Structure 1
Amino acid sequence: MHALLRYFLDAADGRFPDVDGAVTTVPALARGAECAVAFTGHAVVATALSAGRLALERPDGFGGAMAPDFLRFLAGPAGHVGDLDVTMAGRGAGGPAALPVVTDADVAPGVPGRRIRSARQRGADPSAAATGLIVTMQTPVRFGLVGYGFGGRYFHAPLLRAARECELVGVRTSAPERRALVERELPGTPTVASLTDLVELGAEAVAISTPAGTHTALTEEALRLGLAVVCDKPFALDADAARATVELSRQLGLVLSPYQNRREDSDFRTVRALVDDGTLGTVTRLESRFERYAPEDGPGSAGGGTLLDFGSHLVDQALFLLGPVRGVYAELRERESGLDDDVFVALTHVSGARSHLWGSWGQFAPGPRWRVTGSAATYVVAAGDGQEEQLIAGAPAEVWGVEQAERFGRVYAGGSSSVRPTERGRWDTFYPRFAAAVRGEGPPPVEAADAIATAVVLDAARASVRTGTVVEVSAR
């Protein structure tokens, strides 16, 4: 039972919190939803934030927890504030519902149509009785997982299983040791040998997390089988292949999305918030790094080299934040394995801003994850997003994406600096949003065309390495 439900059950029995002006913090709700509930003289806030972090915003139990500024803080720059409404709790009398239920309607007696539409937008299937709104979740999208290597095991399976909008019906993997892993870690989940087998299990969509060189063939096979597809990075080995796959999905009318979960990194969400609220002013230079010292671990052949592996995320984030580019310059080093590493890519955006991107498995002294400079301030954060480590460690969903204070960055302006708390990372929103797209309730979390834009830049980077020159790119 969630801790917030206990407060409602107590209220139904006539027991209420003390009238002390205090605020009680309880864990966030399912799917990361957060809320504030005001009792008389006491508030309860369901959030992934710590009580200490919450206290910095100075909410109180005498109405402060319902103040617009506090609710906007709770929602974050990418969230939204829903209805402020009364919640009435009471013990039922038993038996069937006494009120008729109206289904498949945008308007019902006594229920504002916007509330029904809002419920649908959140991926719910609402119905309305004459005195209020009844919300039931949509039928989960039945997913097959293709591959159970590092990505499938840690980046896809936990997030699919945590999403109420999704049901994992099977895993396609042929390696005996990985089938054994599935049996141990996902008990009751079938393992199969083919995409056709997943269709026979009832799959409506697949998440593809296999070696880079297999992505195009598997994605197109899945589309031809009538499946919606999430494809891990790199989406394709080059832009021509990406274009062909995206066109196929368009012709078949199926949802296709590259798995750019790094758009929901805690650090990147913080960068976006600082840009959106004007703290940095107009961004002139972005520096972004995926650097580590782990030469024995990578670059692995499955990722296709550091340019395709790390570069897919680095370039996508730069394009998402600063828009299309007109010039690309790149350098890299070929490792003994024949795979590229120690990658540097410089982008000149159409806006005039510049992005400098680094990726390396052999950097003894990794640089800061981000340094973003604008006309008003610079933001620097050393520590990158912690969701990968949390998922590997098997941390509970309630703490996914929450960064500790020692990992916060700083904003520098006018000769001084201040700590900027890091936004919560939200990888957990990807699959609910994709499921809503499959049900026709909204756009996919990442548009398929964005995979083409990233592939075009990566192609230009390879051309720049070959020629030693800046390669011009069409700003489509």
Structure 2
Amino acid sequence: MQKIKTALLSYGMSGKVFHAPFLDIHPGFELLGSWERSKKLIQKDYPEVKSYASIEDLLADNVDLVIVNTPVGTHYEYAKKVLLAGKHAVVEKAFTTTVAEAEELTQIAKDKGLKLAVFQNRRWDSDFKTIQKVINDRVLGELVEAEFHFDRYNPLLSAKTHKETANDGAGILKDLGPHLIDQAVCLFGSPKSVFADIRYTRENSLVDDWIDLLLIYEVFRVRLKAGFFVREANPAYTIHGKKGSFLKPRGDIQEDELKIGKKPNLESWGIEPEELQGLLHTEVNGEIIRKKIPTLQGNYFSFFDGVYNSITNNTTEPVTGEDGTKVMQIIEAAIASNAERRVINL
């Protein structure tokens, strides 16, 4: 099996939790190491790998693929360096800070014959995969509206300075927003227009921390919400059609298990508790049904498997640069809508 030599651009939470464990268990990847600026931590977990002193040292090594998992404001700069050095790239969300940056990176990858994927791992959450199946099964009839939430209760500012300092990559719109927007676009395609309300709700916050986005489609609407003052969570997904409804709490367990050091596998990984199953209330063949629906298994391994196949078999990336650009278009429209207090057409 061909080995793809892979390096990370940081080994903080995302490198340790979301990337290294899956690169380690996938037989098609060889984790070479990570660029580490101050704390040298990767060799404690993976003693055989390297700790690079600079991005130049990393790119000079025999690396095939680079994971750009640095703060959002640096994605464009570093991803461009990676691609111009002839390396494939996976870029964390938000893909970039502007549509123009996203389009340029996507074009560079195409011109150089490289693979560029955006790490939208929430497509492989157990709850989202279940929502996707319910919609594809058409058991709700013609869709009327959907509402997605990424709610938390955390009134304190983050200790990570780059997340709380006013800059082009900071704020909940570019942190949790890309998850919600990508899921909506994955399910429904790009909307015709966007209306957004963006707020600062935490004491002394310098960045947006509450969003309410309305994506306007031809015949239905999708509302996306995220904030830090939700002690009692709403359903993460609420979908209403002309025949019925489906309500699903957020239930994916992968992040929590990765954070406590559990290692992913392909059999029992990503199976959420039964009590978090979604409720389906609809009509099928004239019969009213109201029951819990088993949740599908989640597994971020599928993203990395898709990246592997895209490089070795020249298939399409699991989340493309074009996908990332569509998300950035909606983010830019949301910013303009909030500033101008009007609907922005895409």
TM-score between the two structures when normalised by the length of structure 1: 0.67
Whole-angstrom CA distance in 1 between matches of 2:330 and 2:11: 29
1:65-98, Cα deviation, whole Å (9 max, x unpaired) = xxxxxxxxxxxxxxxxxxxxxxxxxxxxxxxxxx
Answer yes or no: is 1:337 the counterpart of 2:200. Answer: no
Taking the aligned partners of 1:269 and 1:249, their CA distance within structure 2 comes to 29
Matched, 1:284 2:144: yes
Among residues 407, 412, 418, which one is paired with 2:281 in the alignment? 412
The answer on whether the counterparts of 2:196 and 2:214 sit within 8 Å (CA) in structure 1 is yes
Q: How far did 1:234 drift?
A: 0.6
Equivalent runs, 1:387-398 vs 2, <5 Å: 387-398=254-265
1:452 matches 2:325: yes
What TM-score does the superposition give when structure 2 sets the normalisation length?
0.92
Separation of aligned partners in 2, 1:455 and 1:384: 27
Larger Rg: 1
- Give the Cα separation in 1 of the matches to 2:77 and 2:127: 33
2:226 to 335, 338, 359: 359
Give distance in 2, aligned partners of 1:312 and 1:332. Answer: 14
Aligned pair partner of 2:301 in 425, 428, 432: 428
Aligned residue in 1 for 2:166: none
Name 1:309's counterpart in structure 2.
175
User: Match for residue 14 of structure 1?
Assistant: none
Shift of residue 383 of structure 1? 2.8
**Relative contact order, CA 8 A, sep 6+: which one is greater?**
2
2:25 to 151, 154, 162: 162
**Partner residue of 2:113?**
253
Match of 1:325 among 191, 212, 231: 191
Structure 1's unaligned 5+ residue stretches are 1-137
The alignment covers a number of residue pairs equal to 332
SS in 2 for 1:367: coil
Deviation at 1:202, TM superposition (A): 1.5
Percent of pairs with identical residues:
29
Q: Distance in 2 between matches of 1:199 and 1:394?
A: 29
Matches of 1:226 and 1:448, distance apart in 2: 16
SS at match of 1:397: coil
Supply the distance in 1 between the matched residues of 2:264 and 2:281 (Cα, whole angstroms): 33
Secondary structure at 2:290 match in 1: strand
Q: Residue by residue, what CA displacement relative to the aligned partner does 1:31-84 show, whole Å, maximum 9, x if unpaired?
A: xxxxxxxxxxxxxxxxxxxxxxxxxxxxxxxxxxxxxxxxxxxxxxxxxxxxxx
Deviations 1:218-272 (A, max 9, x none): 0000001100000001100011111111111111111001111111111110011
1:6-155 equivalent positions in 2, closer than 5 A: 138-155=1-18
Q: Distance in 2 between matches of 1:224 and 1:405?
A: 47
C-alpha separation between the residues in 2 aligned to 1:156 and 1:260? Answer: 12
Change (3 A) 1:337 1:193: farther
Alpha-carbon distance change, 315 to 231 in structure 1, aligned in 2, over 3 angstroms: same
Contact 2:33 2:42 in 1 (8 A): no
Query: Runs in 1 of length 4+ with deviation above 4 angstroms?
Result: 297-300
Q: What secondary structure, in the 3-state scheme, does the structure 1 residue paired with 2:250 have?
A: coil
Aligned partner of 1:385: which letter?
A: D
Check if 1:348 corresponds to 2:212: no
Distance 2:36 2:140 in 1: 46
Q: Which residue number corresponds to residue 79 of structure 1?
A: none
SS in 2 for 1:343: strand
* Pairing partner for 2:44 from 173, 176, 184: 184
Distance across 1 between alignment mates of 2:27 and 2:281 = 41
TM-aligned CA deviation for residue 299 of structure 1: 9.5
SS for the counterpart of 2:176 is: helix
The alpha carbon displacement at 1:281 in A equals 2.3
